[in-house]
Amino acid sequence: MFKLLRFCRAVQNIMPVRYLREKSYKFAARRRKFFKNNILIIVENHVLLQLIRVLFLIAKSEMKLFQNMLFLAIVFSIISCANPPTEPQVSEDMSKSNVNEELIPADLKEYIKTNLQGWLLAERSDYSKVWWSFYDAGSTPYAVVTDINDDQAPDYGMILKNNDALRFVIFFKKGNSYTHWVADNFNKSFNSANKDLQNGLTIEPPGRVDVVYPEIKSLILKSNAISVMELENRRCIYYWSNGKVSAFTTM
Protein backbone atom coordinates (compact mmCIF):
# COMPACT_ATOMS: atom_id res chain seq x y z
CA MET A 1 0.00 0.00 0.00
CA PHE A 2 2.74 2.39 0.93
CA LYS A 3 4.45 1.77 -2.37
CA LEU A 4 1.22 2.42 -4.28
CA LEU A 5 0.76 5.78 -2.57
CA ARG A 6 4.28 6.79 -3.39
CA PHE A 7 3.68 5.85 -7.04
CA CYS A 8 0.47 7.93 -7.24
CA ARG A 9 2.20 10.98 -5.72
CA ALA A 10 5.00 10.60 -8.21
CA VAL A 11 2.51 10.53 -11.05
CA GLN A 12 0.78 13.65 -9.74
CA ASN A 13 4.10 15.45 -9.50
CA ILE A 14 5.15 14.45 -13.05
CA MET A 15 1.91 15.34 -14.93
CA PRO A 16 2.11 19.12 -14.48
CA VAL A 17 5.73 19.09 -15.65
CA ARG A 18 4.86 17.27 -18.85
CA TYR A 19 1.92 19.51 -19.34
CA LEU A 20 4.06 22.60 -18.93
CA ARG A 21 6.63 21.18 -21.26
CA GLU A 22 4.00 20.54 -23.90
CA LYS A 23 2.73 24.05 -23.48
CA SER A 24 6.24 25.39 -23.74
CA TYR A 25 6.91 23.40 -26.90
CA LYS A 26 3.68 24.63 -28.50
CA PHE A 27 4.45 28.22 -27.59
CA ALA A 28 7.96 27.91 -28.98
CA ALA A 29 6.61 26.42 -32.19
CA ARG A 30 4.10 29.26 -32.58
CA ARG A 31 6.85 31.78 -31.90
CA ARG A 32 9.13 30.22 -34.49
CA LYS A 33 6.29 30.21 -37.00
CA PHE A 34 5.54 33.85 -36.19
CA PHE A 35 9.13 34.93 -36.63
CA LYS A 36 9.47 32.82 -39.77
CA ASN A 37 6.41 34.43 -41.36
CA ASN A 38 7.56 37.90 -40.40
CA ILE A 39 11.07 37.26 -41.68
CA LEU A 40 9.62 36.09 -45.00
CA ILE A 41 7.53 39.24 -45.19
CA ILE A 42 10.59 41.37 -44.38
CA VAL A 43 12.68 39.56 -47.02
CA GLU A 44 9.93 39.92 -49.60
CA ASN A 45 9.57 43.60 -48.83
CA HIS A 46 13.34 44.04 -49.08
CA VAL A 47 13.45 42.31 -52.48
CA LEU A 48 10.55 44.44 -53.64
CA LEU A 49 12.31 47.61 -52.50
CA GLN A 50 15.49 46.56 -54.28
CA LEU A 51 13.53 45.87 -57.46
CA ILE A 52 11.86 49.27 -57.24
CA ARG A 53 15.27 50.86 -56.73
CA VAL A 54 16.68 49.10 -59.82
CA LEU A 55 13.70 50.14 -61.92
CA PHE A 56 14.10 53.71 -60.71
CA LEU A 57 17.77 53.72 -61.66
CA ILE A 58 16.94 52.31 -65.10
CA ALA A 59 14.25 54.92 -65.63
CA LYS A 60 16.64 57.63 -64.51
CA SER A 61 19.29 56.37 -66.93
CA GLU A 62 16.80 56.19 -69.80
CA MET A 63 15.66 59.71 -69.08
CA LYS A 64 19.24 60.94 -69.11
CA LEU A 65 19.84 59.17 -72.43
CA PHE A 66 16.68 60.71 -73.89
CA GLN A 67 17.80 64.16 -72.70
CA ASN A 68 21.21 63.67 -74.34
CA MET A 69 19.64 62.55 -77.61
CA LEU A 70 17.26 65.48 -77.57
CA PHE A 71 20.17 67.84 -76.91
CA LEU A 72 22.15 66.37 -79.83
CA ALA A 73 19.13 66.64 -82.12
CA ILE A 74 18.74 70.31 -81.26
CA VAL A 75 22.47 70.96 -81.80
CA PHE A 76 22.46 69.23 -85.22
CA SER A 77 19.34 71.16 -86.22
CA ILE A 78 21.05 74.44 -85.36
CA ILE A 79 24.19 73.43 -87.26
CA SER A 80 22.21 72.35 -90.35
CA CYS A 81 20.29 75.63 -90.35
CA ALA A 82 23.50 77.60 -90.03
CA ASN A 83 25.18 75.61 -92.82
CA PRO A 84 22.67 74.92 -95.63
CA PRO A 85 23.68 72.17 -98.08
CA THR A 86 25.70 73.30 -101.03
CA GLU A 87 25.20 72.25 -104.61
CA PRO A 88 26.49 68.72 -105.20
CA GLN A 89 29.86 68.50 -106.87
CA VAL A 90 30.15 66.93 -110.30
CA SER A 91 31.36 63.35 -109.93
CA GLU A 92 33.93 61.62 -112.07
CA ASP A 93 31.07 60.26 -114.19
CA MET A 94 30.66 63.01 -116.77
CA SER A 95 27.42 61.65 -118.21
CA LYS A 96 24.61 64.19 -118.44
CA SER A 97 21.23 63.59 -119.99
CA ASN A 98 20.30 67.27 -119.73
CA VAL A 99 22.91 69.60 -121.21
CA ASN A 100 22.14 73.29 -121.31
CA GLU A 101 23.51 75.08 -124.32
CA GLU A 102 25.64 77.16 -121.95
CA LEU A 103 27.44 73.98 -120.87
CA ILE A 104 28.55 73.20 -124.41
CA PRO A 105 32.14 74.42 -124.66
CA ALA A 106 32.78 77.50 -126.75
CA ASP A 107 35.47 75.69 -128.75
CA LEU A 108 32.93 72.98 -129.68
CA LYS A 109 30.46 75.61 -130.86
CA GLU A 110 33.23 77.10 -132.96
CA TYR A 111 34.09 73.64 -134.32
CA ILE A 112 30.46 73.14 -135.43
CA LYS A 113 30.36 76.53 -137.15
CA THR A 114 33.56 75.74 -139.00
CA ASN A 115 33.06 72.09 -139.92
CA LEU A 116 29.28 71.82 -140.14
CA GLN A 117 28.30 75.11 -141.67
CA GLY A 118 24.59 75.83 -141.71
CA TRP A 119 23.84 73.36 -138.90
CA LEU A 120 22.59 74.45 -135.51
CA LEU A 121 21.77 72.72 -132.27
CA ALA A 122 18.06 71.90 -131.95
CA GLU A 123 16.03 73.77 -129.31
CA ARG A 124 13.19 73.03 -126.92
CA SER A 125 10.84 75.11 -129.04
CA ASP A 126 11.40 72.69 -131.95
CA TYR A 127 9.68 69.83 -130.13
CA SER A 128 6.06 68.85 -130.50
CA LYS A 129 3.53 69.07 -127.69
CA VAL A 130 3.25 65.28 -127.83
CA TRP A 131 6.93 64.96 -126.90
CA TRP A 132 6.50 67.07 -123.78
CA SER A 133 3.59 64.90 -122.66
CA PHE A 134 6.20 62.14 -122.10
CA TYR A 135 9.18 64.15 -120.84
CA ASP A 136 10.03 66.90 -118.40
CA ALA A 137 9.62 70.37 -119.89
CA GLY A 138 12.95 71.40 -118.35
CA SER A 139 14.97 68.66 -120.05
CA THR A 140 17.30 69.10 -123.01
CA PRO A 141 16.61 66.08 -125.25
CA TYR A 142 18.68 67.48 -128.12
CA ALA A 143 22.09 67.03 -126.38
CA VAL A 144 23.82 64.63 -123.99
CA VAL A 145 27.40 64.30 -122.81
CA THR A 146 29.08 61.04 -121.79
CA ASP A 147 32.15 58.94 -122.63
CA ILE A 148 31.30 56.15 -125.06
CA ASN A 149 34.88 55.23 -126.05
CA ASP A 150 36.39 55.14 -122.54
CA ASP A 151 39.16 57.63 -123.30
CA GLN A 152 38.29 59.73 -120.20
CA ALA A 153 37.30 62.64 -122.44
CA PRO A 154 33.74 63.95 -122.94
CA ASP A 155 31.79 62.87 -125.99
CA TYR A 156 28.81 64.99 -127.03
CA GLY A 157 25.73 63.60 -128.73
CA MET A 158 23.64 66.26 -130.48
CA ILE A 159 20.65 66.61 -132.74
CA LEU A 160 21.50 69.31 -135.28
CA LYS A 161 19.10 71.07 -137.62
CA ASN A 162 19.24 73.15 -140.76
CA ASN A 163 16.45 74.58 -142.87
CA ASP A 164 14.89 71.25 -143.86
CA ALA A 165 16.68 68.35 -142.14
CA LEU A 166 17.86 66.86 -138.88
CA ARG A 167 21.07 64.97 -138.17
CA PHE A 168 22.41 63.02 -135.19
CA VAL A 169 26.10 63.76 -134.62
CA ILE A 170 28.61 62.60 -132.00
CA PHE A 171 31.56 64.88 -131.22
CA PHE A 172 34.73 63.40 -129.72
CA LYS A 173 37.16 65.51 -127.73
CA LYS A 174 40.70 65.01 -129.06
CA GLY A 175 43.28 67.05 -127.17
CA ASN A 176 42.51 70.69 -127.92
CA SER A 177 40.18 69.93 -130.80
CA TYR A 178 37.33 67.65 -131.84
CA THR A 179 36.35 65.08 -134.40
CA HIS A 180 32.80 64.15 -135.31
CA TRP A 181 30.74 61.24 -136.58
CA VAL A 182 27.38 61.56 -138.39
CA ALA A 183 24.78 58.79 -138.15
CA ASP A 184 23.87 57.72 -141.65
CA ASN A 185 20.64 56.01 -140.53
CA PHE A 186 19.16 59.15 -138.97
CA ASN A 187 17.91 61.37 -141.80
CA LYS A 188 14.86 63.31 -140.78
CA SER A 189 13.10 66.05 -142.66
CA PHE A 190 12.49 69.16 -140.59
CA ASN A 191 10.43 72.32 -140.77
CA SER A 192 11.05 74.74 -137.95
CA ALA A 193 7.62 76.31 -138.46
CA ASN A 194 5.82 73.05 -137.71
CA LYS A 195 7.39 72.49 -134.27
CA ASP A 196 7.00 68.73 -134.63
CA LEU A 197 10.38 67.31 -133.57
CA GLN A 198 9.77 63.93 -131.92
CA ASN A 199 13.31 62.57 -131.47
CA GLY A 200 15.52 62.98 -128.42
CA LEU A 201 18.67 61.56 -126.84
CA THR A 202 19.28 59.58 -123.65
CA ILE A 203 22.34 57.90 -122.16
CA GLU A 204 22.32 54.10 -122.24
CA PRO A 205 24.28 52.61 -119.31
CA PRO A 206 26.42 49.45 -119.56
CA GLY A 207 24.42 46.25 -119.49
CA ARG A 208 22.44 43.85 -121.65
CA VAL A 209 19.80 45.08 -124.10
CA ASP A 210 17.28 42.58 -125.51
CA VAL A 211 15.00 43.25 -128.45
CA VAL A 212 12.18 41.02 -129.68
CA TYR A 213 10.77 43.19 -132.49
CA PRO A 214 11.20 43.37 -135.43
CA GLU A 215 13.65 40.54 -134.69
CA ILE A 216 15.04 38.83 -131.61
CA LYS A 217 18.55 40.07 -130.82
CA SER A 218 20.71 41.20 -127.92
CA LEU A 219 23.46 43.70 -127.25
CA ILE A 220 25.91 43.77 -124.34
CA LEU A 221 27.22 47.27 -123.62
CA LYS A 222 30.58 47.47 -121.89
CA SER A 223 30.51 51.28 -121.74
CA ASN A 224 27.97 54.05 -121.89
CA ALA A 225 26.16 54.51 -125.17
CA ILE A 226 23.68 57.01 -126.62
CA SER A 227 20.10 56.12 -127.50
CA VAL A 228 17.95 58.00 -129.97
CA MET A 229 14.33 58.04 -128.83
CA GLU A 230 11.21 58.47 -130.94
CA LEU A 231 8.70 59.76 -128.44
CA GLU A 232 8.74 57.09 -125.66
CA ASN A 233 10.25 54.37 -127.88
CA ARG A 234 13.96 53.68 -128.27
CA ARG A 235 14.83 53.86 -131.96
CA CYS A 236 18.55 53.05 -132.01
CA ILE A 237 21.56 52.67 -129.72
CA TYR A 238 24.91 54.09 -130.78
CA TYR A 239 27.89 52.51 -129.03
CA TRP A 240 31.65 52.13 -129.37
CA SER A 241 32.93 48.84 -130.79
CA ASN A 242 36.25 47.87 -132.43
CA GLY A 243 37.46 51.46 -132.56
CA LYS A 244 34.37 52.98 -134.15
CA VAL A 245 30.73 53.86 -133.57
CA SER A 246 28.23 51.09 -134.25
CA ALA A 247 24.42 51.21 -134.41
CA PHE A 248 22.00 48.76 -132.81
CA THR A 249 18.47 49.35 -134.10
CA THR A 250 15.64 48.62 -131.70
CA MET A 251 12.57 49.42 -133.80
Chosen domain end from 85, 115, 147? 85
Same-domain pairing of 120 and 80: no
Residue 120 lies in a domain: yes
Q: Hey, is 190 helix, strand or coil?
A: coil
Residue 68 lies in a domain: yes
Cα radius of gyration (the chain): 47
- Alpha-carbon distance of 35 to 26, in angstroms, equals 14
Query: pTM for this structure?
Result: 0.61
Chosen domain end from 58, 85, 112? 85
pLDDT at 213: 82
Same-domain pairing of 121 and 33: no
| Structural domain that includes position 20 | 1-85
φ/ψ (deg, to 5) at 90? -70, 130
pLDDT at 61: 63
Residue 54 lies in a domain: yes
CB 146 within 8 A of CB 157: yes
For the chain, give the number of residues: 251
- Alpha-carbon distance of 163 to 126, in angstroms, equals 12
pLDDT by residue, tens only, the chain of 251 residues: 555 556 555 545 545 545 445 555 555 566 565 555 555 566 566 666 677 776 666 666 666 666 666 665 664 565 555 544 443 333 345 566 666 666 789 999 999 999 999 999 999 999 999 999 999 988 899 999 999 999 999 999 999 999 889 999 999 999 999 999 999 999 889 888 888 999 999 999 999 999 988 889 999 999 999 999 999 999 999 999 999 999 999 98
pLDDT at 164: 87
Structurally, the chain folds into a number of domains equal to 2
- Alpha-carbon distance of 152 to 130, in angstroms, equals 36
Whole-angstrom CA distances from 178 to 19, 93, 154 are 127, 20, 10
Residue 90 lies in a domain: no
Whole-angstrom CA distances from 13 to 8, 19, 20, 134 are 9, 11, 12, 122
pLDDT at 84: 47
Residue 91 lies in a domain: no
pLDDT at 85: 42
pLDDT at 182: 97
- Alpha-carbon distance of 197 to 188, in angstroms, equals 9
Chosen domain end from 43, 59, 85? 85
Residue 118 lies in a domain: yes
pLDDT at 146: 96
